[in-house]
Every structure is written in structure tokens, then in C-alpha cells.
Amino acid sequence: MAHPSQLGFQDAASPVMEELIHFHDHTLMIVFLISTLILYIISAMVTTKLTNKYILDSQEIEIVWTILPAIILIMIALPSLRILYLMDEINDPHLTIKAMGHQWYWSYEYTDYEDLTFDSYMTPTQDLTPGQFRLLETDHRMVVPMESPIRVLVSAEDVLHSWAVPALGVKMDAVPGRLNQTAFIVSRPGVYYGQCSEICGANHSFMPIVVEAVPLEHFETWSSSMLEEI
């Protein structure tokens, strides 16, 4: 959950998000070191007379500033490619959920169950209970079992939407007429909030996403109760 004046990311709740945070820190360290080196060189040239401003060419310098950036780019590219493959990998999901974007709400269909479908609307401010978050709560949460591979099929009924939950490291575009897919594993129980991340009209800011991760036995109880209600 994000907090006011927060500087870092939300706490990672999935293995992919942990990898993304580590990659961010890795890349930020490289950028910081390069920036420090460049600032030092510029300040040294300005403040000292022990520099030659009239060098026309230097083969040694050209070799260094060709090879060094290439090494740095490789150091960034290799872990980046690894994470990209991890994000696209979907191996033997235990549960498949279809998320459909509408103006301006989400509908969910648990495809492993015959009739488990529901719509998820934002809870109006006047209906919130103490401890709930304004503009983030929904009347029905997407409940999933923790520590299980979950596949989410994402599409839209009308215009472009985007299904995103930052703590899980998930963001997938919802395109009318096209079925995209993503996957995640929730590492620990909890409630994780997201929002539509593609401008989709007047009420774009009012179609939140709430994922609740629970132990498997609790998920089975929830699914049974939902099927009885339907």
C-alpha cells in the first residue's frame, strides 16, 4: 500500500516485484556512479589548470569511452532480459481468472468454476467503513490463493483499459477484441490495491482493483460461498 510522501516502491508481494525492485536499485546505482564521475570531471576541468583543453585526438581515450559504455550497457541489459522473460513465463497455473475492463468497473470470471463471475465497482465514499481507503475499495475483491501461480486473462468491453497492481509487479493492457495474459504468485496473505492505468474516459480514476490473497482453505470457503450467492 502506498503512503503519503513515500519515496520508494510499495513492499513487494510477489517474486517478480522483488526482482524489479532489485533491478531498479542496480540500475540506479550505475546511474549515480556515472553522474558522480561526470560531475567530478567537469568540476576538475573548471577548477584546475592541470588539464589540456587543446587535445585534438587520443586513441587511448577513445578506446576507453567506447568499451566502458558497452560494458555498462551489458550490465544493464542482461538482468533486464532475465526479468522480461520471467514476467512473460506462465507455467502450469493453478487458477485462471478473466478480467474484463468496462467504463468504469472491472468484471471477473473464474474460468475453472462454472458460474463464478461478478462485477467489481468502486465503493462510494459515503459507504466506506473505518480503515478503508477512499477511491481504492471495491464492493467485490478479486480473491486468490497465496503461493499459487495465478494466470489473469485481460481484455476490455469498450475502450482501452489497463489492469495494474503495483505490489505484485503486474500491469497488462486491456484491449477490446484482444485477449492478453499475465501471471503472478502472491508471496504472502494480504490486500493489494491497484487502479486502471490507461486513460479510459471521464471516470478513469474511479475503477480501482483490489486483490486479496488468502490461504488455500480460505479461498475454497470463499469460492463456495460466492457460488451459493450466485
What residues does 191 pair with on adjacent strands?
A: 212
- The whole model's pTM is what? 0.84
| CATH number of the domain located at residue range(s) 15-88 in this protein | 1.10.287.90
The continuous run of DSSP H or E covering 106 comes out as: strand 105-110
Check if 15-88 and 95-229 are the same fold. no
pLDDT of residue 61: 83
Determine the longest span between alpha carbons in the chain, in angstroms: 83
pLDDT of residue 27: 95
What residues does 161 pair with on adjacent strands?
A: 174
pLDDT of residue 194: 95
pLDDT at 2 over 70: no
- Tell me the mean pLDDT in the region 188-201: 94
pLDDT of residue 76: 93
Report how far residue 199's alpha carbon sits from residue 161's, in angstroms, rounded to the nearest whole number. 7
- Tell me the mean pLDDT in the region 59-71: 90
Report how far residue 182's alpha carbon sits from residue 171's, in angstroms, rounded to the nearest whole number. 8
pLDDT at 3 over 70: no
pLDDT at 50 over 90: no
From the CB of residue 208, how many other CB atoms can be counted at a distance below 10 Å? 20
Provide the 3-class DSSP secondary structure of residue 13: coil
For 196-227, write each residue's pLDDT tens digit.
Answer: 999 999 999 999 999 999 999 999 999 998 88
- Among 7-11, 19-23, 117-121, 142-146, the least confident range: 7-11
Report how far residue 19's alpha carbon sits from residue 220's, in angstroms, rounded to the nearest whole number. 30
Exposed, middle or buried by CB within 10 Å (0-12, 13-18, 19+), for 163?
buried
| CATH number of the domain located at residue range(s) 95-229 in this protein | 2.60.40.420
Q: Name which residue leads in pLDDT, 57 or 151.
A: 151
What residues does 142 pair with on adjacent strands?
A: 211
pLDDT at 75 over 70: yes
For 113-130, write each residue's pLDDT tens digit.
Answer: 888 999 999 999 998 999
Q: Name which residue leads in pLDDT, 56 or 203.
A: 203
Provide the 3-class DSSP secondary structure of residue 83: helix
In 3D, which of 80, 86, 71, 77 has the Cα closest to residue 22? 80
**Residue boundaries of the structural domains of the chain:** 15-88, 95-229
